[in-house]
Amino acid sequence: MSKPELLRVAVIGATGTVGRELIALLQERRFPIQRLVPIATEGSIGEEVEFLGHDVAVETEPPPLAELDLLWLCAPAAVAVDWIRLALRSELACVDLAGALASRGEIPLGLASNPARLWAPEQPLIAGPAGPVLLLAPVLSALAERAGLARVQATILESASSAGRAGVEALQQETLGLFQQQEVDDSQLFSKPLAFDCLPSVDLPGTGSTGDREAQIEAHLVRLLAEPPPLSISSLRVPTFAGCGIQLSVETQRPLGAQEAADALSKTPGVVVSDEPDAPSTRDAVGSADIGVGRVRSDPSAREGFGLQLWLAGDPVRLAAINGLELARQRFFGSGL
């Protein structure tokens, strides 16, 4: 089958955080498009997205799927499942960035920066990993290649944007309410109001010491790492609007000094190592395609030479959009990042 010169694409969840980022990237990276159909729920009726200098009306009903080449799913997982069924029936190529498929072992988990995790033409569906995994996987893979991994412990600080547009709006309303000395109602999205607070990022209460989010991140790392070590993941929700920070502790199988680790990471595509004591920050990471790494140092609690501590900062929303776009680019045009 010949490769199309231009694609007819739809973005489901076009008014959400990942959807808007993806559409902006389609322009920025000159993705070859013949037709763009932005789709959202009825709550977005009347909204528009800017594309190539034009305001494109957001639609609530899709065109016949036979008229499309590609579907990007950026809507909440509960909504995305129905679209996945439609795409399968129509034999339409589909990239799931909503997390609806990412935990299912039979669905390929795609990472555009990893040649072994690209989107093969015979695969109708591919899923992108959870946002924090897009920061962790390249860093851990680089360290594993240099010295092997014996143990990994990560504390993830997730912003409101990890809950989508609704999370950002909820934090904004709560913050304004507190500044205006108004009583803040119980959150309809988080377990408690998030403004000026930090919350355990557990999706379902009563599931034990490891919540659904943490188990999801662990499962994705196990699938993406060549030889996954024992993992311990803790995820917190913090009162920032965007970006993600990760405090990472690693025990290696072979000795690896802090400077050697920093040198290895600085040679990893998409990773930028800083030697500044207060960098990188999560605010600076917003809008960047890079994973920032800082405070690379030896871990005094581990065997000498075998333990490292690192700080990571990145923008999972942008990284997820880039990953989905570049997986599609490789699938249809044979070129990756």
Six-digit token pair at 19?
Answer: 């959807």
Helix (H, G, I), strand (E, B) or coil at 88: helix
202 and 267 within one domain: yes
Res 9 pLDDT > 70 = yes
46 within some domain: yes
Q: What does the angle CA 61 – CA 62 – CA 65 come to, to the nearest 5 degrees?
A: 155
What DSSP state is assigned to residue 55? Answer: E
154 and 280 within one domain: yes
302 and 237 within one domain: yes
Domain count, the chain: 2
235 and 159 within one domain: yes
What is the domain extent for residue 88? 7-129+320-333
pLDDT at 182 (0 to 100):
85
Lowest mean pLDDT among 87-91, 99-103, 116-120, 137-141: 99-103
CATH code for position 291: 3.30.360.10
Please check whether residue 225 is in contact with residue 283, taking contact to mean a CB–CB distance below 8 angstroms. Answer: no
Name the band, by pLDDT with cuts 50, 70 and 90, for residue 3: low
Mean local confidence (pLDDT), 8-37: 95
Select from 6, 25, 30 the least CA-distant residue to 332.
Answer: 6
How do residues 195-209 score in pLDDT, each as one tens digit?
999 998 755 443 333
Q: What does the angle CA 150 – CA 109 – CA 242 come to, to the nearest 5 degrees?
A: 85
279 within some domain: yes
pLDDT at 128 (0 to 100):
95
2 within some domain: no
In the chain, the percentage of residues whose pLDDT exceeds 70 is 95
pLDDT at 77 (0 to 100):
81
242 and 305 within one domain: yes
In this predicted model, which residue has the larger pLDDT, 42 or 57? 57
Res 117 pLDDT > 60 = yes
